[in-house]
């Protein structure tokens, strides 16, 4: 699976050699770019949930995006949709055990 960074680098490289890229390959790249842009819209939350996330992010001194990643990952782990990550010796924790 191509990451966003890989895809951005692929687009930049293509722009440097635009004359050498076939029309079908360029169409594919542009369609993939459009699809990624279309799918970057944020999640629309109910106002009370939105406020609670902002308050929790401020309390934990995290940005909203990172907090949402943590919440979703922990929920998926707790529901056994993802394997629980094991901490390695020396990993940083938030001070709770």
Whole-prediction pTM: 0.48
List, for residues 41-83, the tens digit of each pLDDT value: 677 788 899 899 999 999 999 998 899 999 999 999 999 888 8
Give the whole-angstrom CA distance, residue 94 versus residue 66.
15
H-assigned helices in 1-97: 4-16, 23-38, 47-60, 64-78
First-last CA distance in the chain: 35
Provide CB contacts within 8 A for 4, sequence distance 6+. Answer: 36
Provide CB contacts within 8 A for 73, sequence distance 6+. Answer: 82
More confident residue, 66 or 86: 66
pLDDT tops 80 at residue 38: no
């Amino acid at each position: 699976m191509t990451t966003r960074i890989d895809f951005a680098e692929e687009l930049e490289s293509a722009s440097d050699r635009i004359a050498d890229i076939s029309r079908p390959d360029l169409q594919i790249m542009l369609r993939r770019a459009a699809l990624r842009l279309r799918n970057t819209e944020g999640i629309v939350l109910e106002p009370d949930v939105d406020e609670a996330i902002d308050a929790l992010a401020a309390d934990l001194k995290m940005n909203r995006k990172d907090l949402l990643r943590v919440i979703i990952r922990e929920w998926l782990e707790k529901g056994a949709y993802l394997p629980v990550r094991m901490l390695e010796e020396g990993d940083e924790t938030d001070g709770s055990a």
